[in-house]
Amino acid sequence: MVQINLNLVFTIINLLILYLLMKKFLFGPIIRVMDQRKAMIDQQFQEAKETEDKAEELHRHYEDALKSAKEESFQIVEQARQEAKARADQSDREAQARTEAMLASAREDIRNERENAMRQMQSEIGKLAMEAAAKIMESESGADKDLALYDQFIKKAGDPDDNSGR
């Protein structure tokens, strides 16, 4: 038959009691501490995730603000460019208006000078005609003499540098 060794039975009983005691007093608290640490780590991971989400949201907000600032600066630059172009166009229009006014004034001066020159020429032609008529009256008349006086009159009327009649 099987003989059971009493030492073996006591050793098994001691092991079972030791196992139960270790489970109650050693493994239980260690498992609780490990569960608490795991919960704490999970909570820290959750907080880190929330912080990361907040950081991403702030980053997106910053990017949107930066994009908005870039668009606004582009609009400001474009508006300044348009204002500068408008000022340049206005300056061009003013310069063109001044130029046209100066041209109109110069044309008016030229027209006045031309009228004065015409009046002076008419006066000179009248004097020459009077001189010619006086010479014709003084001298004898004849076809050759009339033709010579006519040529002399034409010569004096056509030569602006001739100051002999003045």
Q: What is the pLDDT of residues 74-132, one digit of tens each?
A: 999 999 999 999 999 999 999 999 999 999 999 999 999 999 998 898 888 878 877 87
Mean pLDDT (the chain) is 86
Write down the pLDDT at residue 57. Answer: 95
**Tokens 């002999």 sit at which residue?**
164
**Tokens 């005691």 sit at which residue?**
21
* Residue 60: its H or E element: helix 28-138
The pTM assigned to this predicted structure is: 0.39
Which of the pair, 164 or 94, is modelled with greater confidence? Answer: 94
Write down the pLDDT at residue 1. Answer: 57
Distance (Å, whole) CA 12 – CA 3: 16
Distance (Å, whole) CA 131 – CA 137: 10
Distance (Å, whole) CA 43 – CA 64: 31
Write down the pLDDT at residue 126. Answer: 79
Neighbours of 99 (CB within 10 A): 10
Q: Name the most confidently modeled range: 1-10, 46-55, 156-165.
A: 46-55
Residue 162 reports pLDDT greater than 60: no
Tell me if 125 sits within 8 A of 96, measured CB to CB. no
Neighbours of 153 (CB within 10 A): 19
For residue 5, the SS3 value is coil
Residue 136 reports pLDDT greater than 80: no
**Tokens 């001044």 sit at which residue?**
98
Write down the pLDDT at residue 165. Answer: 46
Both tokens of 52, joined, read 């990361």
Model confidence band, residue 44 (pLDDT cutoffs 50, 70, 90): very high
